[in-house]
Amino acid sequence: IINRHEMASKDVTFVRDIPDETIFAEIDPDKMTQVFDNVITNAMKYSRGSKRVEFHVKPNPLYNRMTIRIKDNGIGIPINKVDKIFDRFFRVDKARTRKMGGTGLGLAISKEIVEAHNGRIWANSVEGQGTSIFITLPCEVIEDGDWDEA
């Protein structure tokens, strides 16, 4: 998914922080691709200057969860609106809608998909510095040779 966006967007630097361990997550690949496409597209759309999108994956084997963080260096979201970005048709700024496009459905749909996978999605943002979208999903870290147990 990241490679596809990277090839299509030469003006964006993509940074990957993905562990070497094999992580097994039981997901619908088409639905989760839709989630990552929504989040990465937003990160690219709202980044400014030297556009940068970071993709971090951190497994937590103790709790059988992984956290995925997609971070941009964009315009950020006012603190009083961060929790609303996952509501259907919510737009941070109506003027942005006309200028940037979008329907206000992408993150709401992403939230439904993530929650259907027994996961959670949320955001942290600082105006003028950017936004991080966090996704946690159930997973299992696979040790070498342990595929039969997954």
Residue 66: inside a domain, yes or no?
Answer: yes
Q: Which one-letter DSSP state was computed for residue 3?
A: H
Residue 147: inside a domain, yes or no?
Answer: no
Beta strands, E only, the chain: 13-17, 22-24, 52-60, 65-72, 120-126, 130-138, 140-142
Q: Which residues contact 110 (CB under 8 A, 6 or more apart)?
A: 34, 35, 38, 39, 86, 121
Residue 149: inside a domain, yes or no?
Answer: no
Nearest partner of 63 among 148, 142, 140, judged by Cα: 140
Residue 118: inside a domain, yes or no?
Answer: yes
Residue 83: inside a domain, yes or no?
Answer: yes
pLDDT at 99: 53
CA dist., res. 71 & res. 59, Å (int): 17
Residue 150: inside a domain, yes or no?
Answer: no
Q: What is the CATH number of the domain that holds 33?
A: 3.30.565.10
pLDDT at 89: 78
pLDDT tens for the chain, 150 residues long, are 888 888 888 889 999 999 988 999 999 999 999 999 999 999 999 988 899 999 999 999 899 999 999 999 999 999 999 999 999 977 666 555 445 556 678 999 999 999 999 999 999 999 999 999 999 999 998 876 555 555
- Count up the domains in the chain and report the number: 1
pLDDT at 44: 94
- The answer to whether the CB of 75 falls within 8 A of the CB of 46 is yes
Residue 28: inside a domain, yes or no?
Answer: yes
Q: Could you tell me the residue range of the domain that residue 56 belongs to? A: 2-142
